[in-house]
A = this chain, B = another copy of it.
């Protein structure tokens, strides 16, 4: 008998690989191009390739890096596991969170006064109900002409264009209810576009979809366009993640043969799945969605449209487009109504995308004379400063430290991540974990807390080096000395959770990049941090951020705490607002047009500011008076 072939399905990507028996799970994952790493060279030493087998028997060599508890739960190291049957395997590092939406129907009720965009519900899509008189031998105009005649009577529009899709069902639709039809129309300037003709009483509603396309996560809201209510929101991993974790690696992947097509099809799959999931919540066919708005960074939108992203990262950083006319769903490959208009939040440039312009739309930045600051600190930090008259923006390579990469204990803000940390009076760590499980790692907001607590309690100095006070808590491993955050007994992976000086340096560089970009933006317009009236923090990172700690490490300016606001997923909210009206879509274009982009890469002053920011909280303590006060108050020993 020949070699047996087994099927291994990897979740949450839902990728199935066929392999001969005795292949290791690690080899199978590589075949499926899944994002598993083995820094130790598949020796079973590092524990990075941990997976959880959900179904099927397997044989695994024992490994020191797995606790017994984990083994009984089906956790195993992919590199040490042989396939002897069909398996279903979960990559726990990519486990999806249950849907958590920031934009809810409440937002709509509560946010009217807090945003720049308009809350008028006036979508371009509307139902027009008309009745076509029965044709006779004397009045036997075509169905299309009779439809146009009635639409013209009702709307006054002369230039009426019928979509190909609507045309195909027209003959039957107009005859089903004796000429009574409900016509889905999209108003363009001076033109009415007929998307679909339903017989009367087809009990259809008008639906729209708003999407935020993030490098890691994609979110989608389904909106009833007649009431403006959000009826469902879904979110999930961007499936492109298996081609690289950040924008640069995705752009590189696109250079491989077939790479761009693959990235495009992965993001389309992600979006279409989320839309379908959202539609199923309200028991809707996705084909009833007649309009969609997408907001995302410039690279993500290029990949979605299958456009060459290479020149985004090559000087002088020129994207194919910043602003696009609406396309139709069938052209883009979005599985909603084939003729639905697809709108994109306009970008400012290669590194300030539609996610940021959409984000600004849902801040009050443009409704005030006072100066505000908008921060979206992910792998790339984007900042916008301005008021109703002017807007200045820049992007800085913050690095992925706050996104969970680049530090040994870092992880994205998912289930199992420590999102808040505090040192109690006995210098023990208190923390809260997303999903209330044993901790798997620390996400961005947790790392900010950790740094701040270590600094304020004197375990690290202003340069991020361990002090004598830290000695008791330090352990030594191959990376040098490291601070013990949580012991192997309590951590999910059964390994010590450690923070090295290298990790700290990484985090300082990240926070320094953001803060110095902020200073430079302000200096460009002759302002100082104290002139900022409000700071809006966007993104998942911002959601859990402890502002006090963010100030203490020098990530954000030291301003009265009531000037800080969390926006949550402002890209999704902005996309939602763009869905509500043409006015908002015009407005977001104005926002993009107003933004002056400062290229930091070629700005010599930026390096100076950056160097000054590589201290806790900053070389210039004048900029952080509240931190100085705490340090002087004796919690810490020295005060300079």
Beyond A164-B332, A322-B142, whether A171 also contacts B315 by CB under 8 A is: no
Interface residue A417 (Cβ < 8 Å from any Cβ of B): no
CA distance A403 to B144 in the complex (A): 32
A320–B164 Cα gap in the complex (Å)? Answer: 12
Copies of this chain present:
2
A305 at the A/B interface (Cβ < 8 Å)?
A: yes
The docked-state distance in angstroms from the alpha carbon of A306 to that of B140 is 21
A325 → B minimal CB distance (Å) = 5
Instruction: Give the contacts of A595-625 with B (CB-CB under 8 A).
Output: 599, 602
Bound together, the chains give a CA A186 to CA B19 distance in angstroms of: 53
Asked if A429 is at the interface of the complex by the 8 Å CB criterion, the answer is no
Q: Looking at the assembled complex, report how far the CB atom of A316 sits from the nearest CB atom of chain B, in whole angstroms.
A: 4
Q: Check if A488 is an interface residue, CB within 8 A of chain B.
A: no
In the bound assembly, the distance between CA atoms of A143 and B322 in angstroms comes to 9
A107 within 8 A of B: no
B142 touches A317 (CB 8 A): no
The CA of A156 and the CA of B602, in the complex, are separated in Å by 35
Task: Check if B599 sits within 8 Å of A172, measured CB to CB.
Answer: no
> Please, what's the 1-or-0 string for A166-185, where 1 marks a CB less than 8 Å from any CB in chain B?
01101110010000000000
**Within 8 Å CB of A317, what residues of B?**
137, 140
Query: CB-CB contacts of A293-336 with B at 8 A, as 1s and 0s?
Result: 00000000000011110110001111111111101001110000
Number of interface residues of A (CB under 8 A): 45
Given contacts A164-B327, A307-B171, A311-B175, contact A320 B140 (CB under 8 A): no
> Does A307 contact B168, Cβ atoms closer than 8 Å?
yes
Contact of A142 with B319 in the complex, beta carbons under 8 Å: yes
The answer to whether A305 and B172 touch across the interface, beta carbons within 8 angstroms, is: no
**Residues on the B chain within 8 Å of A327, using CB:** 164
- Would you call B306 and A135 a contact (CB within 8 A)? no
Q: Cβ of A140: which chain B residues have Cβ within 8 Å of it?
A: 316-318, 349-350, 599
**Quick one: CB contact mask for A127-162 with B, threshold 8 Å, 1 for yes?**
000000001110011111110000000000000011
Q: Which of B319, B347, B602 contacts A143 (CB 8 A)?
A: B319
B308 in contact with A137 (CB, 8 Å): no
How does the 8 Å CB contact mask read for A358-372 relative to B, with 1 for contact and 0 for none? 000000000000000
Minimum Cβ distance to chain B for residue A309 (Å): 8
Contacts of A331 in B (CB 8 A): 164, 330
Q: How far apart are the CA atoms of A170 and B12 in the complex, in Å?
A: 35
**Given A143-B320, A164-B305, 7 other A-B residues pairs in contact with their CB atoms under 8 A:** A135-B316, A144-B320, A144-B323, A145-B323, A161-B325, A167-B321, A168-B307
Residues of A whose CB lies within 8 Å of any CB of B are 135-137, 140-146, 161-162, 164, 167-168, 170-172, 175, 305-308, 310-311, 315-325, 327, 330-332, 347, 349-350, 599, 602
24 contacts between A and B (CB under 8 A): A136-B316, A137-B315, A137-B316, A137-B317, A140-B316, A141-B322, A142-B318, A142-B320, A142-B321, A142-B322, A142-B323, A142-B347, A143-B318, A144-B320, A144-B322, A144-B324, A145-B321, A162-B321, A167-B320, A168-B305, A170-B307, A171-B308, A171-B320, A172-B308
